[in-house]
Amino acid sequence: MRILGIDPGYGITGFGLIETHQGQSRLLQCGAITTPAGMDFSARLEIIYEDMRKLLEVAKPDAVAIEELFFGQNVTTGIGVAQSRGVILLAIRQAGLEVTAYKPAQIKQALVGYGNASKHQMQDMTKRILHLETMPKPDDAADAIAIALCHARSSTSLLAQRHM
């Protein structure tokens, strides 16, 4: 199964494509969709949408997983990320794919076994699972890989299989 993980943002949207088979996962591709700061915001959303459409066409994922939004201190930034996430979800829907959203704590729990794991712990576990020498850059791509791994682990659990 090919799983595309997405870490949404409007400056940088990270993506990670993994392939998983019989409990083993490998990294196929990762990177980021970027938009220039200072550009008209609607133009940035258009870039994200068009690049996501192209990525979905080329990557041909079987499943897509995206991080659920978390509104912390900066609500203004959160609104921009929400708008970016909206055009990403539209592109996924238009590609005929289902998408599963995961909260940050769910991603940490699936990878590290602890919902309050640190970024370092997440990166270390991602490297171990995928047998990587170093973590891919930028951090948004690494986060997207973790989201894809979370989906791989969650979608193949016995509990998930019982509800299918």
d(CA 146, CA 74): 24
> Which CATH number do you get for residue 96?
3.30.420.10
Q: Which of 14, 15, 9, 71 is nearest to 37 (CA)?
A: 9
Q: Which pLDDT score, from 0 to 100, does residue 163 have? A: 40
Q: Which pLDDT score, from 0 to 100, does residue 158 have? A: 44
Judged by average pLDDT, the poorest of 9-13, 34-38, 110-114 is: 110-114
pLDDT tens digits, 64-103? 999 998 766 656 677 889 999 999 999 999 999 999 999 9
Q: Which pLDDT score, from 0 to 100, does residue 159 have? A: 44
Classify each residue of 8-26 as buried b or exposed e, where b means 16 or more C-beta atoms within 10 Å of its C-beta.
bbbbbbbbbbbbbeeeebe
Q: Which of 7, 50, 51, 68 is catalytic?
A: 7
Q: Which of 46, 51, 62, 140 is catalytic?
A: 140
d(CA 121, CA 126): 9
Kindly state the average pLDDT of the residues 38-43: 96
The 10 Å Cβ neighbour count of residue 139 is 15
C-beta separation of 78 from 66 below 8 A: no
Domain boundaries, position 70: 2-162
Residues with Cβ < 8 Å from 66, sequence gap 6 or more? Answer: 5, 6, 7, 8, 85, 88, 89, 92, 99, 100, 101, 102, 147
Kindly state the average pLDDT of the residues 33-60: 97
Q: Is 139 a catalytic residue?
A: no
Q: Is 62 a catalytic residue?
A: no
DSSP element (H, E) containing 110: helix 104-112
Q: What's the pLDDT band for 115 if we cut at 50, 70, 90?
A: confident
- Count of domains for the chain: 1
Q: What percent of the chain has pLDDT over 70?
A: 90
Q: Which of 51, 67, 68, 139 is catalytic?
A: 67
Q: Is 7 a catalytic residue?
A: yes
C-beta separation of 100 from 40 below 8 A: no
Q: Which pLDDT score, from 0 to 100, does residue 107 have? A: 94
In this prediction the pTM is: 0.90
Q: Give the 3-state secondary structure of residue 146.
A: helix
